[in-house]
Amino acid sequence: MRSGTQFCPGCGESLIPSAVAPEHRVASVSRTRFIEHWGELKRVGWLFGLLLATSFVFGIAWRSAHSPWLSVIASAVDAAIVLVAAGLRYRKLLFLFQLRPSGLRDSVVLIAIAFLFVALATAYFWVIERLGVPMSSATATYTRAGWPLWSMLLLISAMPAVFEELAFRGVIQSTLERVLNARDAWLIQAALFSVLHLSPLMFPSHFLMGLCFGYMRRRSRSIYPGMLLHACWNALVVLQELPA
């Protein structure tokens, strides 16, 4: 074989594999990355799909049987779904549960976001009320059934704050950040959160909630500030609805 020959005279195989190896490596890396990203998106789809199905099924059941026990069952089912999803990604979510010292600037920003959210949400529902749009009560069913205040705070305030934040600002937002950029992940989780509640009237308010809670999670790298604000807002709604 003469010096400088690039192909085998017998089989035609290239004798310079290094010339094509980089292309194969790039294709292999791209394929692996696509498989990983597709797997992450499927996890988000499964979690959101199950939560949406639960919301839809219990929403239909609520029309025929106004019972607080439906809320108890729905909350338990949602909690189980979220805990399984979070458990499967436990190691990748650990950073959200670490307590980190917060600087003065970050603390001021988080407090400002909290006040801004309360002001905007309050203004939105005030406008809706002034327009005469009928709004459902979150506490009426519990009050008619004679359930105590602590049960309403648990089911309307605490449980949604913990499990919705864990699902959307925890599993979904952190998973999307591995596939998309941080801004797109932030916007998508807020949109999904608003759709979950299956009420066009609540889409704007809950999209705003998703944006504020998601930003607090990004800013603090912790899920706790969003949980706290979420619980406080829901508790405020409960207390405002209770008869004087």
CB of 236 within 8 A of CB of 152?
Answer: no
In a domain, 217, yes or no: yes
Question: Which pLDDT score is estimated for 12?
Answer: 45
- Report the range of poorest mean pLDDT among 99-103, 166-170, 201-205: 99-103
- Report the range of poorest mean pLDDT among 90-94, 95-99, 134-138: 134-138
In a domain, 32, yes or no: no
Encoded amino acid at 66, one letter: H
3-class secondary-structure state, position 7 = strand
Q: Which of 76, 118, 110 shows the shortest CA–CA distance to 220?
A: 110
* Tally of domains in the chain: 1
- Report the range of poorest mean pLDDT among 64-68, 83-87, 215-219: 64-68
**Cα 48 to the center of its chain, rounded Å:** 8
User: What's the Cα-to-Cα distance from 82 to each of 89, 151, 194, 243, rounded to whole Å?
Assistant: 11, 21, 17, 33
3-class secondary-structure state, position 14 = strand
Give the pLDDT mean for 172-187: 93
In a domain, 60, yes or no: yes
In a domain, 55, yes or no: yes
In a domain, 164, yes or no: yes
Between 181 and 15, whose confidence is greater? 181
In a domain, 162, yes or no: yes
- Report the range of poorest mean pLDDT among 36-45, 51-60, 120-129: 36-45
Question: Which pLDDT score is estimated for 36?
Answer: 75
pTM: 0.84
In a domain, 179, yes or no: yes
pLDDT at 130 over 70: yes
- pLDDT bracket for residue 137 (50, 70, 90): confident
In a domain, 28, yes or no: no
| Domain carrying residue 160 | 46-241
Question: Which pLDDT score is estimated for 20?
Answer: 46
